[in-house]
């Protein structure tokens, strides 16, 4: 069975873009959520191998989700790729301190997203 990827974004178009890139890369076992809270509910019930999450979302943001995931035994090992428009250094530092595995700044190309996924997976091997 292929790697199950959770894609979290409040913007449908971005979910579609990421899903398209993932399918080009051969990943088609994808589940989506609209915010951090929804994502965390899914993570509590299902086996997820990789998380790709937006930063800015209503209800629960990506950084809040990241902190919850990395602070929850049984979830803390799941590679987490943060997708964001926030290129400011303090944002990146906050994400790194919260143990983000990879960070990608919008807009990005399919090739860059593919690289980031590969790096995040290798880091965990
Ligand atoms: Mg957003």
CA of 54 to the centre of ligand 1 (A): 6
How confident is the model at residue 125, as a pLDDT? 41
Q: How far is the CA of 58 from the centre of ligand 1 (A)?
A: 8
5-123, which class in CATH?
A: alpha beta
Å from CA of 96 to ligand 1 middle: 19
pLDDT in tens, 94-114: 999 999 999 999 888 888 988
Cα(42) to ligand 1 centroid in Å equals 19
pLDDT tens readout for residues 19-57:
998 998 889 999 999 999 999 999 999 999 999 999 999
What secondary structure does DSSP assign to 59-87, as a single string? SS-HHHHHHHHHTSTTTTTS-EEEEES--
Counting residues of the chain whose pLDDT is more than 70, the rounded percentage is 97
In terms of phi and psi (left: phi > 0; alpha: psi -120 to 50; beta: otherwise), the region of 26 is left
Tokens 């873009």 correspond to what residue?
17
What is the Å distance from ligand 1's center to 39 Cα? 14
Specify the pLDDT at position 25: 85
Q: Is the pLDDT of residue 89 over 90?
A: no
């Amino acid at each position: 069975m292929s790697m199950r990827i959770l894609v979290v974004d409040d913007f449908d178009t971005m979910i579609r873009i990421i899903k398209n890139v993932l399918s080009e890369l051969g990943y088609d076992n994808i589940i989506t959520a609209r915010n951090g809270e929804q994502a965390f509910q899914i993570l509590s019930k299902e086996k997820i191998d990789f998380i790709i999450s937006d930063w800015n979302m209503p209800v629960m943001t990506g950084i809040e989700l990241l902190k919850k995931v990395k602070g929850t035994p049984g979830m803390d090992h799941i590679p987490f790729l943060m997708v964001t428009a926030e290129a400011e250094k303090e944002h990146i530092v906050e994400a790194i301190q919260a143990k983000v595995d990879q960070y990608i700044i919008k807009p990005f190309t399919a090739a860059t997203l593919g690289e980031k996924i590969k790096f995040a997976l290798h880091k965990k091997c």
